[in-house]
Amino acid sequence: MKYIDFHLDFADLYNSFDLNSKDFFGSSKDIPVSYDQLLTSGVDIVNFTLYYYNFKNEDECYNGVKQYLDFYRNILEDVDKFRCIKNLNDLKFQWIKYFHSLEWFECIRDEKDFEEFYDLWIKIYGPTRHYKNKYGSGRWDTIDDWLSLQWKQLISKFNDKNLVVDIAHLSRKSVQDLEKIYKWVIINSHANVWNIFNDEQNLLDEEIQIIVDRWWIIWLFPFQKSVWKQGTFDEFYRHLDYILQKWGDDNIVFASDMYPLPEFPFLNNYKNIEIWKAWIEFLLNKLSKNTVEKIMYKNWFKFLKKVFTS
């Protein structure tokens, strides 16, 4: 069964572990994601995320994100089995399709930068990372605060262009604020359910409802720290089942986030993208094939058709 992986921090992963294109096209089984793994795993569409850590100012963040864009281009653009999605026709490509999202806004110094990223077919944006910036407060802030005036001025451009706002790192008050002023699609690219496990990344019912009310989707992700103490598929399924029982199967998809690190292990101690094959097999013993296809692929495809039509 093919699937879509919405959130893969591929460039940052390779940068952190000093990997390169030779590693990506090599035969090693010890890296979390490679060309062969992507081809054989069943992934049909993937979001290669854009962001940059360890920056001292906005210029460094901007340059870091552009560096990651160059990394993706150098590895993927000349490979005949990958295609960057720019319009609906690209979704018909036979092999792996990919697109980019911008995980947080520190790299956007002004409206000119925003227009530059928009012209690169980037449709999905997160206002903050873990902590407060000039746009709003982050999920890990000790003081939960509202969105800034600067963000409220910029959001008018989002409304004009029908872009998608990702609330994955946005604080709870900032999420409430966003819901009032933004009129199009709101998503969460990697979170689980707070009422199942109290992790700061996870969503309250009210936040899930905001996303559902916009007709869109919640990405559940397989990090042990956000699932439960043991980090098993059974515990992960509790998050899925909670949403299925309250909201049905139209608003759920899955994403990897950054792939397992020592401090952020995957469920069942999986080390690479093979986790999704095993997860699909697990689900087929719990749910109908139609439901599994919806939450692993069809909901996602519906979302992408909406985004790349606008």
C-beta contacts of 149-152 below 8 A and 24+ residues apart: 151/127, 152/181
Domain enclosing residue 215, as ranges: 3-309
Per DSSP, the three-state class of 223 is strand
Q: What is the CATH number of the domain that holds 24?
A: 3.20.20.140
pLDDT tens digits along 276-292: 999 999 999 999 999 99
Least Cα distance to 207 among 245, 166, 250, 248 occurs for 166
Question: 187 near 144, Cβ under 8 Å?
Answer: no
CA-based nearest residue to 258, from 198, 189, 193, 199 = 189
Helices (H), 77-203: 111-118, 149-161, 172-181
Chain segment 201-240, per-residue pLDDT in tens = 899 999 999 999 876 777 788 888 899 988 899 999 999 9
Q: What is the tally of structural domains in the chain?
A: 1
Residue with tokens 């009032």: 180
Q: Whole-angstrom Cα distance, residue 69 to residue 193?
A: 32
Q: Taking all residues of the chain, what is their mean pLDDT, rounded to a whole number?
A: 87
Pairing of strands 124-125, 96-99: unpaired
Tens of each residue's pLDDT in the chain, 310 residues: 889 888 888 888 888 888 888 898 888 777 878 888 888 888 999 988 898 877 888 899 999 999 999 999 888 887 888 999 988 899 999 999 999 999 888 888 888 898 899 888 898 998 887 788 888 888 888 888 888 887 777 777 777 777 888 988 889 998 998 888 888 888 888 899 999 999 988 999 999 999 998 767 777 888 888 999 888 999 999 999 999 999 999 989 998 876 666 777 888 888 888 889 999 999 999 999 999 999 999 998 988 888 887 6
| Contact indicator for 175, 143 with CB cutoff of 8 Å | no
